[in-house]
Amino acid sequence: MLQRVLHVTLSPANSSSELLLLPQFAAENEAQDVILSAANASEVLYSRVIMNPSDLPGGAQHPLAAVAYLEQVFYRCRDEMQKLQSSFVRLSAEKKQEAQDCLSSIREMCINYSATALTDPEIFPFEVGTINTDALEKIVRLQANAQTPEFVDGVVAELEGNGATLTVFAPIFQKLLSELFLINPPSLMSNFYNNMYILTVLCRNKALAMAFTQIPGFLLTPGPPMTGRRLQDATALGLLLRFSCNQDPAITQMFTNITKRTKNDVDNSILTIRNKLDSVQSTVSDIVTLLLKAGGPAREHVLAWLEQAIQVNAERSKENPDMNVTATNGMFVNLTMVLLKLCGPFLAPKSKKAQLIKTEYLFHIRMIDRL
Model pLDDT for residues 227-240, shown as the tens digit of each residue: 999 999 999 999 99
pLDDT digits 0-9 by tens, 116-156: 999 987 777 666 678 889 999 999 998 755 556 899 999 99
Q: Which residues are 20's β-sheet partners?
A: 8
Where are the domains positioned within the chain?
1-132, 164-371
Q: What is the model's pLDDT at position 65?
A: 83
> Nearest Cα to 41, choosing from 16, 19, 10?
10
pLDDT, average across residues 6-15: 80
- Distance, CA of 226 to CA of 308 (rounded, Å): 9
Q: What is the model's pLDDT at position 227?
A: 92
Q: Which residues are 244's β-sheet partners?
A: 187
Q: CA end-to-end span of the chain, whole Å?
A: 64
Q: Which residues are 187's β-sheet partners?
A: 244
Name the pLDDT band for 1 (thresholds 50, 70, 90).
confident
Q: What is the model's pLDDT at position 149?
A: 84
pTM score over 0.75: yes
Looking at this protein, which amino acid is placed at residue 89? V
- Output DSSP code: residue 9: E
CB neighbours (10 Å) of residue 371?
A: 5
**Are residues 270 and 338 in contact, defined by beta-carbon separation less than 8 angstroms?**
no
Q: What is the model's pLDDT at position 145?
A: 56
Burial of 334 (0-12, 13-18, 19+ CB in 10 A): buried
Share of the chain above pLDDT 70, in %: 89
pLDDT(86) > 90: no
pLDDT(337) > 90: yes
pLDDT(266) > 70: yes
Share of the chain above pLDDT 90, in %: 48
Q: Is the preceding omega at residue 224 within 30 degrees of 0, hence cis?
A: no
pLDDT(29) > 80: no
pLDDT(59) > 70: no
Name the pLDDT band for 66 (thresholds 50, 70, 90).
confident
Secondary structure of 85-135 as H, E, C letters? CCCCCCCCHHHHHHHHHHHHHHHHHHHHHHHHHHHCHHHCCCCCCCHHHHH
**Are residues 245 and 277 in contact, defined by beta-carbon separation less than 8 angstroms?**
yes
Q: What is the model's pLDDT at position 367?
A: 47
